[in-house]
Amino acid sequence: MLHTLTALGGMQVAPHHLAAQAGRDVLREGGNAVEAMVAAAATIAVVYPHMNAIGGDGFWLIHEPGTAPVAIDACGFSAGLADREIYAGLETIPARGPKAALTVAGTVGGWAKALEVASAWGPALPLPRLLADAIRHARDGVAVTESQTALTTSKLEGLKDAPGFAETFLVDGAPPAVGHILRQPALAQTLATLAECGLDDFYRGSIAARIGAELERLGSPLRTGDLAAYSARIVEPLAVRLADCTVYNLPPPTQGLAALMILGLFERLGVSDGEGFDHIHGLVEATKRAFRVRDRFVTDPGRLRADPSGFLTAAALDERAADIDMGRALPWPEPAAPGDTIWMGAIDREGRAVSFIQSVYWEFGSGVVLRDTGITWQNRGISFSLDPSALNALEPGRKPFHTLNPSLALFDDGRVMPYGTMGGEGQPQTQAAVFTRYARFGQPLQQAVSAPRWLLGRTWGDVSTSLKLESRFAPELVQALREAGHQVELLDEAYSDTMGHAGALVRHSNGLIEGAADPRSDGAVAAL
């Protein structure tokens, strides 16, 4: 895809084409943007299982014209039995296996809460229709993608012994070939039960009972009672005011604060041209300042030390921007965190827009696939620390730190822009690249997504903290960054999975919708 696609009747973008088409088809049948997103979310949990699952978490930004955006926190909390004693003798929580499955999966609850928000918009499509594509793909099968094969291969050692993983995602003990038909009958039945009995069944019904019983049998600290105690929440989004727009994101426990700080700081640097040294260096240095705040502040929302919006005031941003040297790089030894996620966007004919993200944290999460339900369970809880003095120390009922953060910009001229990406540490950085390229330097939306990207820190299991660049950057720019003190690592790939799978939509005041999907993914823009 080389050109920005346009349409008038509605649009869905997703990192897998079948999910984009599922959302588009709901729009075609008169569904709204939230209903389209639920269909896409259920579908992508089936067709892109290395990136997300219904055993993970999610976050929403929903905008209806003329109203303030609504944010939904669909992040699960740690089990009531998840304390440091069950990990006695360990320095960290295991990354894979049953003890890595220690937080409630919140994303299905987020679907339900979003549909509640949308219920005020008029007649609803039935839930069986919204889940129909996901059920069909799970039952009949889907072709394994190149990225699923590659990640299964590279992470096989840590995943192969997790309960249920080999039976579900391996073929005779080996990673599936690209194009292998993956069928998930147990997951199909679970989705069919949700369609028939309602989404609440995941937490307080027959599905919840099966989930809780199997997790307990496998050795996870999660219990049926933890599921029953969970519900997604509507929360106040964070916002940063820029020259011509307001950009929204999620509050803690997400890193949405960092995504907004990067834009606020960069705006104060006075960069006038895109793609040159000042653009890249300025965003990287803004990222470092934002990450320092994030790493010292963002935690469970009930344990925050201060109001996160205080970091987004003009005065606070002015002070931190003044610390940025536009000629030299700040040394950056800070640790980082990996993650595997999907971002999707939807806009309907009436201009209602959704920015949505769903994740199991690492690729395939804990690796645990529940035999009775076909659900892959997240390992988001490994972001907790076993050090009782740490900011994100493990305690029962606590929400883990989240890299997830969907963005949505409302421009003063009437444009609405939901945008985002997967990619752990790279999420706020890629968001900043896409936004500034489009909104500050006038690039077409698809070019803003496709253009060469960078990543400070670690994602997809990488442990380095270098500044990674795709190979398409000009040699003189790479050299200038090195001379400024950046520890540059030039990747071999022109379009690297390391940089995540981004997407963006823009609706103009005249009803025209633009969409861009990432060529690094298996995604598409699907429109009416």
Spatial distance between the Cα atoms of 379 and 375, rounded to a whole number of angstroms: 13
Spatial distance between the Cα atoms of 355 and 420, rounded to a whole number of angstroms: 7
Spatial distance between the Cα atoms of 379 and 141, rounded to a whole number of angstroms: 25
Spatial distance between the Cα atoms of 212 and 222, rounded to a whole number of angstroms: 7
Spatial distance between the Cα atoms of 58 and 55, rounded to a whole number of angstroms: 10
Residue 281 class from Cβ within 10 Å (0-12 exposed, 13-18 middle, 19+ buried)?
buried
Residue 172 class from Cβ within 10 Å (0-12 exposed, 13-18 middle, 19+ buried)?
exposed
Closest to 485 (Cα-Cα) out of 273, 332, 335: 332
Closest to 380 (Cα-Cα) out of 356, 401, 395: 401
Residue 283 one-letter amino acid: L
Residue 453 one-letter amino acid: R
Residue 114 class from Cβ within 10 Å (0-12 exposed, 13-18 middle, 19+ buried)?
buried
* Among 4, 341, 403, 436, the one annotated catalytic: 341
- Provide CB contacts within 8 A for 89, sequence distance 6+: none
Residue with tokens 């073929």: 171
| Mode of pairing for the β-strands spanning 238-241 and 245-249 | antiparallel
Strand partners, 16: 522
Spatial distance between the Cα atoms of 304 and 59, rounded to a whole number of angstroms: 19
Spatial distance between the Cα atoms of 478 and 490, rounded to a whole number of angstroms: 8
Spatial distance between the Cα atoms of 55 and 288, rounded to a whole number of angstroms: 32
Helix axes 127-140, 17-28, angle to 10 degrees: 150
Residue with tokens 């003009």: 314
Question: E-assigned strands of 362-475?
Answer: 407-411, 416-421, 454-456, 467-469
Residue with tokens 């959302």: 23
What letter would DSSP give residue 10?
Answer: E
| Mode of pairing for the β-strands spanning 5-7 and 454-456 | unpaired
Is residue 341 annotated as part of the catalytic site, yes or no? yes
Q: Which residues are catalytic?
A: 341
